[in-house]
Amino acid sequence: MNALPLLLIGLAILAGGYVLYSKFLGNRVYQLDASFKTPGHELQDGVDYVPTNKFVLWGHHFTSVAGAAPIVGPAVAVIWGWLPAFLWVTLGTVFFAGMHDLGALWASVRNKGRSMGTLSSRYIGGRGANLFLVVIFLLLLMVVAAFAVVIKDLLISTPSAVIPAWGAVVVALLVGQAVYRYRMSLGLVTVIGVAALYGLILLGDAVPVELPDPILGMSPATFWIIALFVYAGIASLLPVWVLLQPRDYINGVQLFVGLGILFVSVLLSAPTIVAPAFNDAVPADTPDIVPLLFVTIACGAISGFHGMVSSGTSSKQLDKETDARFVGYFGAVGEGMLALGAIIAATAGFRTLADWEAVYSAFGEGGVGAFVTGGGEIVNSGLGLPASLSSTVLATMAILFAATTMDTGVRLLRFVVQEAGEVGKVRINNGVGTLIALVAGMGLTFSQGAEGAGGLRIWPLFGTSNQLLASLTLSIVAVMLIRKRRNPVPALVPLVVVFVMAFWAALVQLGDLYDARDWLLLTVDVVIIIAALWVAFEAVIAMRRASQEDPEAPDADVRERVEVNE
């Protein structure tokens, strides 16, 4: 099959979702109000709470939620065939991810920018809130540790991406100063910033950087991991407008340009998809497609991590509540587009079916490597770019996505540590909270050696815990909608589907871990399952209670604002 129709149909579905379904959600379900005073204005502090232009905030949100997961998940899941992955990415983005991301952002904005962990206590009940925080902490820990390893591997395997990856930090600092301190035109700054990033890509391709072994008494792998955590810690402490916002924004624009390059290459070369639509000859170790497809592709269809970003950083920077539709829903659409690109690169970037089968010889194979190699081949065929430059462009995309997610993840970990301190009546400042987040992340990463093998130690649990978290976030959204006497069905349908699939997958994984005698992961999986069941039970009770409340009674967010004003 030609890849061109797949690309056009996928983009049409995603565009239709934003134009039609997100408008329905914004106007009829969430009833976004441009006059509502957002936390960014009400609690503005110049550090975390900063009202932001919706295009800049979209860049932060999109690149933070994207990371490497919408590349890795789809590029692994095509082992079952490209059609199931395509359907889950497109329909999941429109009806699941967009609703979830927009809903989490709206829920947090209506509650002073508080995170999902805090909102679980408010809307579902305090008994399950602490367990909810445990799941969130574990999920964020998995993300920062695993992404440090992913970035490290790419910096070593693709040395031409080193200069653009780190040069992007300098560009971001300059962009932040230009926009916020010198009030330069955002359009002009964007053009200059993107041009600078692509200039760095050209420089990186001409001057690849391979670290000596050893460097400062460490292997290159150890050095890169430490450097990444130091950077993420600094980024966590700086005001968002100095580095986090401008880095994510300019990366988002550059990454959309990179996606454009890939999609235009598909239009020009019309490559053939060599992988089967349904793969009946999967390797022997491949698990059943149901429920594993729905947790293998998380980011790119629906992801609980998105709720952490929506309620952790994006809600604190929203200028107008109506901007939530563009930031939240279109952020999910952007990630769906990236996942669509990953599917095409991992299925049409090979010359023959035999070449594809050689890569997908076991479950878990493919991933970023298949995206970079396959995408590079498509770009080379479509635009005639040298193979090395094509690989540099795509590897840089993957690194920048992963790096923006990692630094946002460390910031979110700091928020979770501080929230946990509040539960224990202990005030934890930003510095101490960041230090705890860094120690936990580096401790996990180096727990199995200096090369960072520990960073992927509990990653196998990411898919199930991430999707369970998404369903729990949707339960908070559903309770709020029921209390406000609005239609909860758009939240309840994805809630039920995702919870059933994720819980089913967690049970399957539990059996596999027991057979493998992996007691650490077995214990963590049990904790996640218990927490999910507990919070789900509390959520059902909360929904029933909400349906019986007086619809004329003030909502929780309204009551709190009245109390503050008094």
Give the residue numbers spanning the domain of 435: 3-565
Q: Compute the Cα dihedral for 259, 398, 61, 249 and give only its sign.
A: negative
For position 424, which CATH number holds?
A: 1.20.1740.10
Residue type, 409: G
Query: Do 542 and 123 contact (CB within 8 A), yes or no?
Result: yes
pLDDT score at 556: 45
CA pair distance 227, 223, nearest whole angstrom: 6
Let me know the angle formed at the C-alpha of 300 by 298 and 304, rounded to the nearest 5 degrees. Answer: 45
How far is CA 204 from each of CA 119, 166, 194, 393, rounded to the nearest angstrom? Answer: 45, 10, 15, 10
C-alpha 231: how far from its chain's center? 19
Query: Do 144 and 233 contact (CB within 8 A), yes or no?
Result: no
pTM of the complete model: 0.85
Per DSSP, helices labelled H in 51-125 are 54-66, 69-77, 82-92, 98-109, 116-123
CB-neighbour burial class of residue 321 (10 A; exposed 0-12, middle 13-18, buried 19+): buried
Residues in the chain predicted with pLDDT less than 70, given as ranges, are 67, 127-129, 550-566
For 265, the token pair is 């290459």
pLDDT score at 376: 81
Residue type, 563: E
pLDDT score at 559: 41
Query: Do 8 and 266 contact (CB within 8 A), yes or no?
Result: no
For 207, the token pair is 């001057």
pLDDT score at 550: 66
Q: Compute the Cα dihedral for 74, 80, 83, 89 and give only its sign.
A: negative
Q: Compute the Cα dihedral for 342, 294, 134, 482 and give only its sign.
A: positive
> How many folded domains does the chain comprise?
1
pLDDT digits (tens, 9 = 90+) for 111-136: 999 888 788 888 887 766 677 777 78
pLDDT score at 14: 97
SS3 state of residue 208:
coil
